[in-house]
Amino acid sequence: MTAKMYFEKDASLKPLEGKTVAVIGYGSQGRAHALNLHDSGVDVVVGLRENGGSWNRAKQDGLVVMTPAEAAAKGDLIAILVPDMQQPDVFESAIGPNAKEGSSILFAHGFNIHFDMITVPETMDVIMVAPKGPGDLVRRQYEEGKGVPSIMAVHQDASGEAQDRALAYAHGIGGTRGGVITTTFGEETETDLFGEQAVLCGGMTELVVKGFETLVEAGYQPEVAYFECLHELKLIVDLLFEGGLSKMNHYVSETAQYGDFTRGPRVVDDSTKARMKEVLEDVQSGRFAKEWADEYRSGLKEFRRMEREDNEHLIEKVGANLRAQMSWIEPDDADESSAA
């Protein structure tokens, strides 16, 4: 099946004319969406905890700021852009009791709708616009006259205009400049979680760490192992991003290519794929969602333990010291604390 894509020529801001968009949350995506919509000429208000750090930042950015409840009461389209595990409480306490009849509720990730953690009244649209990139890139690309590709979905069309409103929102944040692909809440949620767990975050970082450990345990210097297993990863990822497998193969040596073709499948083989399928089944069945929600509600004790173990790994200590010598890399708070 070929995905339907929309571009600038297919969209306009007309479905949002005379309407107010309430952006709840001002993190990476919230700030980017609010500022891009504002700069596109959309009437935007931001809903935040009163006098918190984000409250002052949004005001300094020139936006109208109010509490989440006040913003929900004012918004014709309400974009819920706080972290996943905070969304049910925010919806129950601030949005549900105050939202206008017939307003549209927008998410940037389908997690809470797909796994029935938020139930939106049938009188409201439930839509999604999810840029395929972090918020700072969404903002930066917009300011440069470009756009990050986005995906769009409609879960509930109470107004009869849900898709038009979603596309207008995507247009307002710059998504149609890069292309907007239609999907479903289920497809977005399940593919996003799987990608994070099996490839982008879980799979990739475990491959890096296990490679680093293999070299160090064999007696090689940690600094050399860091460069080979982590630092040079950016080169490969950039080539893949720009031109896929063919561009990577064109720019690496024939020796590297031969090693790729013959040894790569020994490391990541059909048994790895079988375990990936198990990870996908955990996502599809809702087991992961329940496990994560239970962990969050219990105070994140196990989460913090695993986070601490990651931060204390030798690869982090070696990396922080090496990156401190790389003048082209902007210093990071985590690096500064690790290298101290």
What is the rounded CA–CA span in Å between residue 155 and residue 102? 15
Confirm whether residue 103 is marked as ligand binding: no
Confirm whether residue 206 is marked as ligand binding: no
Q: Which of 33, 38, 109, 155 is catalytic?
A: 109
Confirm whether residue 253 is marked as ligand binding: yes
Specify whether 313 is catalytic.
no
Q: Residue 125's closest CA among 73, 161, 74, 95?
A: 161
Confirm whether residue 135 is marked as ligand binding: yes
What is the rounded CA–CA span in Å between residue 117 and residue 289? 10
Q: Residue 212's closest CA among 234, 229, 236?
A: 229
Confirm whether residue 220 is marked as ligand binding: no
Q: Which amino acid is at 207?
A: L
Confirm whether residue 258 is marked as ligand binding: no
Q: What does the DSSP assignment read for 36-75?
A: HHHHTT-EEEEE--TTSHHHHHHHHTT-EEE-HHHHHHH-
Confirm whether residue 26 is marked as ligand binding: yes
Virtual torsion, Cα 216, 217, 219, 222, nearest 10 deg: 10
Confirm whether residue 172 is marked as ligand binding: no
Query: Any bridge partners for residue 129, and if so which?
Result: 152
Confirm whether residue 29 is marked as ligand binding: yes
* Phi, psi angle pair for 214, to nearest 5°: -60, -45
Confirm whether residue 28 is marked as ligand binding: yes
The answer to whether 57 touches 35, Cβ cutoff 8 Å, is: no
What is the rounded CA–CA span in Å between residue 166 and residue 218? 54
Confirm whether residue 192 is marked as ligand binding: yes
Strand 5-6 with 64-66, pairing = unpaired
What is the rounded CA–CA span in Å between residue 3 and residue 183? 8
Confirm whether residue 251 is marked as ligand binding: no
The binding site comprises: 26-29, 49, 54, 135, 192, 196, 228, 232, 253
The binding site for substrate comprises: 253
Q: Which residues are catalytic?
A: 109
The binding site for Mg(2+) comprises: 192, 196, 228, 232
The binding site for NADP(+) comprises: 26-29, 49, 54, 135
